[in-house]
Amino acid sequence: MARVISCVSGKGGVGKTTFVANLGIAASEFGHKTIVVDANLTTPNLGFHLGVPLYPQTIHNLLRDEGNIYDAMYIHPSDLKVIPAGLSIYDLKNTDPSKLSNVVNKLREEHDLVILDGSAGLGKESLASIEAADEIIIITNPELPSVTDALKTIKIAEEMKKPIIGVVVNRVRKMKSELTKHDIESILGAPVISIIHEDKKMSDCIAAKTPIVSYDKDHNAAIEVKKIAAELTDTFWSPPKKDLMFVLKRIFS
């Protein structure tokens, strides 16, 4: 029976989809039957991150009770399953997110882990992705607007009785103006489970349609995501030792 985790933020552009694509691949490579679902129904883009071709059957069809759930599952080379979203204006206008829980419940039996890529804001579709989940991971950037939006999201998730696994702080530039891990934990009242730095390579991954865990498996961001994937899937995994050989290999690779 799957564990269903929704990755949400409040603010847009903080790195939810990037994180979901990487977490999905990492969990799948740890041997867990994992499926990621694009629950960002108005501005979806999980498919772009994972190189999913334009797909005839999507989450939008499933929410309208059209067609077969298996026809909406794209199998990524990592074995990760992906339910992409439709990109048309018709899909945008003609879908009711309230049925998301029904669709997600159909995925529970045949998977170990279901990961939902939530939308920005706290509108209907974002609430539907929280409602459909058992637990929540919050993604934020280390700036006040993003953290205050994350706080609203946490409060709503708590009202909906959805436990918060923790907070991923993404796009950290180590600037003095940024909130620290301690600041973020005090504001949000939830543990920071990962810190991922700003890195141009992360945007290169979009062009390559290959998330960082596959694009550069020893990259710091890849290691951070794998740590979380290992914890969520109860996998014994230790990060590579950053000894001289590791450093030399990275310099010359």
Would you tell me which residues interact with Mg ion (CB under 5 A)? Answer: 16-17
Query: Which residue lies nearer to ligand ADP by CB, 112 or 133?
Result: 133
* Residue 9 is a binding residue for ligand ADP (CB under 6 A): yes
Query: Which residue lies nearer to ligand ADP by CB, 112 or 117?
Result: 117
Comparing C-alpha atoms, which of 135, 139, 100, 132 is closest to residue 20?
139
Q: Which does 214 bind (CB under 5 to 8 A by kind): Mg ion, ligand ADP, none?
A: none
Q: Which of 12, 67, 123, 145 binds ligand ADP (CB under 6 A)?
A: 12
Site residues for ligand ADP, window 158-217 (CB under 6 A)?
170-171, 196, 198-199, 202-203, 206
Give the C-alpha separation, 182 to 142, whole Å.
11
Mapping DSSP onto H, E and C, the string for 66-106 reads CCCCHHHCEECCCCCEEECCCCCHHHHHCCCHHHHHHHHHH
For the bound state, the minimum distance from the C-beta of residue 38 to ligand ADP, rounded and expressed in Å, comes to 10
For the bound state, the minimum distance from the C-beta of residue 245 to ligand ADP, rounded and expressed in Å, comes to 26
Residue pointed to by tokens 């230790």: 238
Query: Which residue lies nearer to Mg ion by CB, 4 or 36?
Result: 36
Give the C-alpha separation, 19 to 244, whole Å.
29
- What is the chain's percent helix, strand, coil content, to nearest 5? 45, 15, 40
* Residue 122 is a binding residue for ligand ADP (CB under 6 A): no
Q: Which two tokens stand for residue 197?
A: 């730095």
Q: Which of 14, 188, 213, 229 binds ligand ADP (CB under 6 A)?
A: 14
For the bound state, the minimum distance from the C-beta of residue 20 to Mg ion, rounded and expressed in Å, comes to 8
Strand extents, DSSP E, the chain: 3-8, 34-38, 74-75, 81-83, 113-117, 135-140, 164-172, 192-197
Q: Which residues bind ligand ADP (CB under 6 A)?
A: 9, 12-18, 170-171, 196, 198-199, 202-203, 206, 221
